[in-house]
Amino acid sequence: MEEIQSEVITWKKDENEKEEAEAQVEIWKYIFGFADQAVVKCAIELGIAEAIEKHGKPMSLLELSSTLGCNPSYLNRIMRFLIHRKIFKTISTNHENYPYYVQTPLSLTSSTTGDLKTNLRILHDWGDEECIQILKKCKEAIPNDNGRVIIVEAVIEEGGNHKYKDVGLVLDMVMMAHTNYGKERTLKEWEYVIKMAGFKGCTVKSINAVQCVILAFC
């Protein structure tokens, strides 16, 4: 009996330590959640997805850095982050020191030329009417047949228990306190402003952060 009690105590201790370790990881994710959107913005502005798409085959670090005109050491660190977030991936080659990059379904959403605009953490500062006007301006700048706008913003979950739901709700309180009409939006609210701006619809992709990638399409 004493052995069983000892095992139960040890199990509870291990479980508590495991939960505490997981909580520490989650806290750091919340603190640095902005990094995801910053790196995604960097990737879009550099044109990484477009460069790989135009290359037509897996692309090495040196090939990619040469095409983009950026430092391979910095680019390697950016790609390492994006690969961890499953935005790109590497394939095995005979050149172990030079990874070859390929796209994933997520990166393919931005691998077009001339039909894509990005809106990162801007729209939550404004009310619905202002958002609609901003999105209308974005729509005017892209082709009507296949134009798309990428929005990186929080999407408040109305049901369920999404791991970033609490952070999104806190951010909504921050927006209410520090802006006149700004707010974090639910999916229904995003669909409303996007359709009122003249887009046909939108898709939402989680990126392991409080923000999501919202793709509005014509």
Catalytic residues: 124
* Distances in whole angstroms, Cα of residue 186 to Cα of each of 25, 135, 193, 213, 214: 26, 17, 11, 13, 12
Distance, in Å, from the CA atom of 204 to the CA atom of 187, rounded to the nearest integer, reads 9
Residue appearing with tokens 């040196």: 62
Q: Strands (DSSP E) along 87-200, which ranges?
A: 88-91, 100-103, 116-120, 148-156, 185-186
Rounded to 5°, angle at Cα 215 from 210 and 218 = 160
